[in-house]
Amino acid sequence: MGGASIQSQPLKRGQILSVAIPASIVSDTPHLREKTFKVGLIGRALAIFRVDEAIIYPDILGADQSRDINFVVTILSYMETPQYLRKRLFGIMPELRYAGILPPLRTPHHPLQSRKRDLKVGEFRDGVVVSRNRQGILVDVGVEEPVQVLGARIPEGTRITVKIVEVGDKPIAALASPGEIPIYWGYRVRASKSPIGKMIGEGSFDMVIATSRRGEPFMKVKDKILERWKASRRILVAFGSPTQGLQEIVEQEGLRLDDVADFIVNTVPRQATETVRTEEALYATLAILNLMTEDF
């Protein structure tokens, strides 16, 4: 745990929290450097507020947004990957030309310790399978040499999470399942082929919160949201694009926002700017929800 006790680490949420982000989040930013910086802000928000999943959805029906979707997914995935695994998992990609300006996440699964002597029994580490031997597999976990995972048979190049079970000159680890990790362990990134209305319909969300300038002031509905939050297992918070609100986005599918969302809320009441950018709405909304649900 990087020398810190579990009690001092950010615990994972009791619910699975997903956010839906439109592909055109970067469409109004012409230069790759600025696009990268903007997605970097989004990645930081996801990590700060312990989001479990980011879903990037197409928000302009009939348009090919695959390039924008791929870019956002690549940058967010790169940010979430521990630094010591990035070369193995990404290599050289045009989308990562300005990756050097991305801010570090410094989440629990991005340890700074890079020596075998710093490993601790019970510590979790993300790693990549680098080879197989008679005993199992060897996994790069960011120290001088790969650690042994006994009895495992997993293809080379696979990213896995392990738990250190023996330390010393030849550390040994065991495969770890996400359920046994008690602390926040980063976010997943998923590209949706379906527009948001269809995506929500296909999902198994217990509660969907849509953000909108035309939504109800958050404080008016906070008690209802909190009550529903406590009873939910999977929650989605959806955001609109720089040029279209969620109402306009779902109207392209012949839907009303009321049809797909349980709550439509305004988390930036009386805004003084003409528009609130998606990344700004992300920080404002997740900060409020984090405060309101910190005990759940």
End residue of a domain, out of 148, 178, 208: 178
- Mark whether 143 and 159 lie in a shared domain: yes
Q: Specify the pLDDT at position 243.
A: 86
End residue of a domain, out of 129, 157, 178: 178
- Mark whether 45 and 122 lie in a shared domain: no
Judge whether 78 and 86 are in contact, CB under 8 Å.
yes
- Mark whether 25 and 89 lie in a shared domain: yes
Host domain of residue 67? 12-106+185-292
Judge whether 18 and 235 are in contact, CB under 8 Å.
yes
Tell me the C-alpha to C-alpha distance, in Å, between residue 176 and each of 112, 142, 154, 278.
20, 17, 13, 35
Q: Specify the pLDDT at position 2.
A: 41
Query: Whole-model pTM?
Result: 0.94
- Mark whether 172 and 190 lie in a shared domain: no
Q: Specify the pLDDT at position 3.
A: 42
Cα–Cα distance, 147 to 169 (Å, whole number)? 10
Q: Specify the pLDDT at position 8.
A: 66
Q: Which residues are within 8 A (CB) of 7 and not within 5 positions of it... i.e. 6 or more apart?
A: none
Judge whether 68 and 28 are in contact, CB under 8 Å.
no
The domain that holds 210 is classified in CATH as: 3.40.1280.10
Judge whether 112 and 125 are in contact, CB under 8 Å.
no
Residue 67 covered by a domain: yes
- Mark whether 33 and 92 lie in a shared domain: yes
Q: Specify the pLDDT at position 207.
A: 97
Residue 110 token pair: 């991005």
End residue of a domain, out of 157, 178, 199: 178
Q: Specify the pLDDT at position 178.
A: 79
- Mark whether 207 and 261 lie in a shared domain: yes
Q: Specify the pLDDT at position 296.
A: 64
Q: Which residues of the chain have pLDDT under 70?
A: 1-8, 296
Q: Which residues are within 8 A (CB) of 290 and not within 5 positions of it... i.e. 6 or more apart?
A: 49, 50
Helix (H) or strand (E) holding 229: helix 218-230
> Could you give the number of structural domains in the chain?
2
Number of helices (H), then strands (E), belonging to the chain: the values are: 8, 11
Q: Specify the pLDDT at position 1.
A: 40
Q: Specify the pLDDT at position 153.
A: 93
- Mark whether 23 and 67 lie in a shared domain: yes
- Mark whether 155 and 194 lie in a shared domain: no
Judge whether 75 and 40 are in contact, CB under 8 Å.
yes
- Mark whether 278 and 211 lie in a shared domain: yes
- Mark whether 68 and 168 lie in a shared domain: no
Q: Specify the pLDDT at position 38.
A: 96
Q: Specify the pLDDT at position 5.
A: 46
Residue 221 covered by a domain: yes
Q: Specify the pLDDT at position 268.
A: 85
- Mark whether 96 and 191 lie in a shared domain: yes
